[in-house]
Structure 1
Amino acid sequence: MSEFNNEYRIAQLLAQKMTGELSSEEEAELHEREKNSLSAIELDNRIQDPENKRQRDKFMNQLNTDSSWKKVERHILERKRKSRHLTWWSSAAAVAIIITFTYILIPESQPVETPPLPVAEAKTGSSKAILITPEGKQFSLFQQDSSQTLELGNGLIAINKGNVVEYMEFSTLPSHPKNKNNIIQVPKGGEYELILPDGTHVWINSDSELSFPLQFDSTKREVSLSGEAYFAVTKDPQRPFTVKLSEGVEVKVLGTQFNVQAYPDEKTIETTLCEGSVNVSDGTKETTLTPSLQAVYSKTDKNITTRKVDIRLYTSWKKGLFVFENKPLEEIMTTLSRWYNINVFYANQAVKTYHFTGDLERYGDFRKALGMIEKATSIRFVINGNNIMVEEIPTK
């Protein structure tokens, strides 16, 4: 078993060497271990020797593959945070070496019947979400042909109407404190419409979460958003409607239509007004928007600025379109990754700055969408299941 541990350690050190993370001490260790390691033939003979089966199986059982994968994932994320020059293949090399070595430890004389791993494909998003009650009860929401009544408990009900869920308003909620919230979580590759108890419509985009009370009180209506949503707020002068976002940013209205993009991994929070007026504040500064104005809060500068925009660029997702105008490829691929639930890798940093202008059908074929971008730019996409490598086409 010690021989197996030695070879496994060599694989780990080689992976570190390929990713440029091998210290001088570890390089010396690698050199020493390689001198004393078994040859490929010797290792194969030792593995196939029935006398070593018990030791081999014991060693294999000690390998915690789940833990190894989690470490690799943490490693990749940490490298991404620390360096802008990490390439996809260098991170994957560590995984490939470990998997390859683990695989050769399974003897050919006793083949293991393992079903082929399913290859995920990039698929168009659909109406789906998870509804979570204050008590932790969960309901899966998805598009369906007939209405479904959701018994939320304590007399509360909601109606799931295919791709929209509607809450019923009650005059009193004796068994529910008003500060208790329900949560709708929309995963990547999903979207869902919500009708709040006051009649307000909310279209929730992919990879987003909305928290809202079981019943609005008599003086205010407050919800919390992480991600992106389009609001069509029912007018009620006696009860202002407030959307609470990260960084202390709030959007306050009486009745209007607007779009909010507030993803945790984005550098800005954008509020785009379609009609009516809204106030956007961060606790220290407040600005009032009129139609076609957008408020941009910078998480870096901690400041709010306004600009006039084409609202179609920020709201067409609700109508089944992606509309991009001179957008960097990195931003475009981030948007597409949320809807198609794909993983995007870049062969080099330069391709991220390529710009694209055009309309893509939100429910169209994914490969067709990528093909349109390829025709307009000097890049190509290498598709492997739901993993996409973006490469620059070399000039001749």
Structure 2
Amino acid sequence: MSELAKEYKIAQFLAKKMTGELSPEEEQELVKLKKESGSAIVDEQILNPANKRERDELISQFDTNSSLQKVVKRIHPKKQPPRNLVWWGSAAAAVIIIVFTTLILQEPILVVDESLPMAEVQAGSPKAILITPEGKQFNLSGQDSSKTLQLGNGFTAINKGNIVEYTGNSDSLSFQGTQKHVIQIPKGGEYELILPDGTHVWINSDSELSFPTQFDSTRREVFLTGEAYFSVTKDKEKPFIVKVNEDIEIKVLGTQFNVQAYQDENTIETTLCEGSVNVSDGKQKVTLTPSLQAVYSKSTKNLITRKVDTRLYSSWKDGLFVFENKPLEEIMTTLSRWYNIHVFYANQAVKTYHFTGDLERYGDFRKTLGMIEKATSIRFVINGNNIMVEEVSN
């Protein structure tokens, strides 16, 4: 029996053990397999893409729907297991059932409750890494916090622990061509940046902004992945340009706007709060006025505009999540970046539940999930930083 087959056999036995269906003979075989394997479940053997063919052959013998239904029923014996529990593909099902079973055996699963300690899930905080063109890295929230940074090539920045400000007369600095500084914000982080021209940028979790060591004489150009809010210093002679991947260019003279452009999302959204901006994909171009949003679809390549409440797209920088009739899947994606959590869904239906409300960005995670629970027919099952979302049966 291959190592991968052993891993799957172990997982299958564990699932049966959770539901009280493991025979004495299987119990003995489980002990033997675990001793022979000598490795944790859900290790590189299972997750390695090179094992896909063998994984698919093995999963054809593994009743994931039945096993996972029984595991959930064991966790909540007084409740009926959620309908349509398994909706993923066969290979993914194997990994999910094994991960889920392993989490259950490692530590107890907690249902969200005001009385339960949740110290392991913390709200995000100022975190960032600044990288110079030469590759030198500064941990802005660690050993390099609250100090003056000598960045090389005449650049100096003052870091205050939540905001880093470039100082000095940029016109006197030697031009470095296409070389750029990069500020990276991890999941569970945020940071503010003041560029040499005075432009203020709020950078959200799981984002990256790169900018030249000196703006040239005709334009101020930066590159964004993720989400950021810009308050651009006016300069009629030097338009400010935000580039997003190879798709979108946002051109302004001086204004305030939010850009959401995460790589794992299908749309790029530019929301104007003040002033005027031009948004273009090279073929299509739209001009925004306040309260208009440009939405670019990566799949259809269409660029449209729509009127929005800008508060829904900019309040994150002021400490609030503001949702208006948002699908639960989108809400949990937003929360996962900020709280650095992993979200799993018991069935497809819960993703489409909608929620409207304001949630404190720095608030207690229990209360955040509790508010969503009260407004929808769902329950959050928590194990460390792993969140299972399930439907509450009537």
TM-score range, shorter chain: 0.7 to 0.9
Mapping 1:367-382, distance limit 5 Å: 367-382=366-381
1:71 aligns to what? Answer: 48
C-alpha separation in 2, matches of 1:166 and 1:218: 21
Partner of 1:12: 8
Report the equivalent of 2:197.
Answer: 198
Aligned to 1:135: 134
Instruction: Give 3-state SS (helix, strand or coil) of 1:375's partner.
Output: helix
Unaligned runs of at least 5 residues, structure 2? 16-23, 60-85, 107-117
- Deviations along 1:243-279, whole A, 9 cap, x unmatched? 0002421100000000000000111100000010000
Residue 223 (structure 2) pairs with residue 243 (structure 1): no
CA deviations 1:121-157 (Å, max 9, x no partner) are 2111001111111111111112899831111123321
1:41-190 equivalence runs, <5 A: 60=38, 67-68=44-45, 70-71=47-48, 85-86=87-88, 90-94=94-98, 121-142=120-141, 147-169=146-168, 170-174=170-174, 177-190=176-189
Aligned length: 340
| Aligned partners of 1:144 and 1:163 also within 8 Å | no
Q: Distance in 2 between matches of 1:6 and 1:39?
A: 21
* Paired residue type of 1:86: W
CA distance in 2, matches of 1:334, 1:342: 9
Secondary structure (helix, strand or coil) at the match of 2:123 reads coil
Q: d(CA) in 2 for partners of 1:206 and 1:229?
A: 9
Which shifted more, 331-340 or 149-158?
149-158
User: How has the CA–CA distance of structure 1 residues 252 and 74 changed in structure 2, closer, same or farther, with 3 Å as cutoff?
Assistant: farther
1:394 and 1:205 map into 2 onto residues whose CA distance is 36
Instruction: Tell whether the 8 Å contact from 1:228 to 1:263 is kept in structure 2 after alignment.
Output: yes
The 1:73/1:211 distance shift into structure 2, 3 A limit, reads farther
Q: Deviations over 1:199-239 (max 9, x none)?
A: 00000000000010111011100000000000000000000
CA separation of 1:70 and 1:134: change in aligned 2, threshold 3 A: farther
Which consecutive residues of structure 1, in runs of 5 or more, have no partner in the other structure? 20-37, 48-55, 104-118
Superimposed CA distance per residue, residues 177-198 of structure 1 (whole angstroms, 9 cap, x where no aligned partner): 2321010010110000000010
Asked which structure has the greater RCO (Cα within 8 Å, sep 6+), the reply is 2
Is residue 257 of structure 2 the alignment partner of residue 255 of structure 1?
no
Q: Classify the secondary structure of the residue corresponding to 2:338.
A: helix
2:385 is aligned to 386
What is the alpha-carbon distance in structure 1 between the residues aligned to residue 41 and residue 28 of structure 2?
Answer: 26
The alpha-carbon distance between structure 1 residues 220 and 379, as it changes in their structure 2 partners (threshold 3 A), is: same
TM-score (norm 2): 0.77
CA RMSD of aligned residues (A): 3.7
CA contact (8 A) 1:216 1:222 kept: yes
Q: SS at the partner of 2:224?
A: strand
Output the amino acid matched with 1:181.
K
2:73 corresponds in structure 1 to none
**Quick one: which amino acid aligns to residue 258 of structure 2?**
N
Cα gap change, 1:303 to 1:74, in 2 (>3 Å): farther
Which residue of the partner structure matches residue 366 of structure 1? 365
1-structure distance, mates of 2:279, 2:230: 14
Question: Using the alignment, how far apart are the partners of 1:378 and 1:42 within structure 2?
Answer: 42
Percent identity between the two aligned chains: 65
Q: Which has the larger radius of gyration?
A: 1
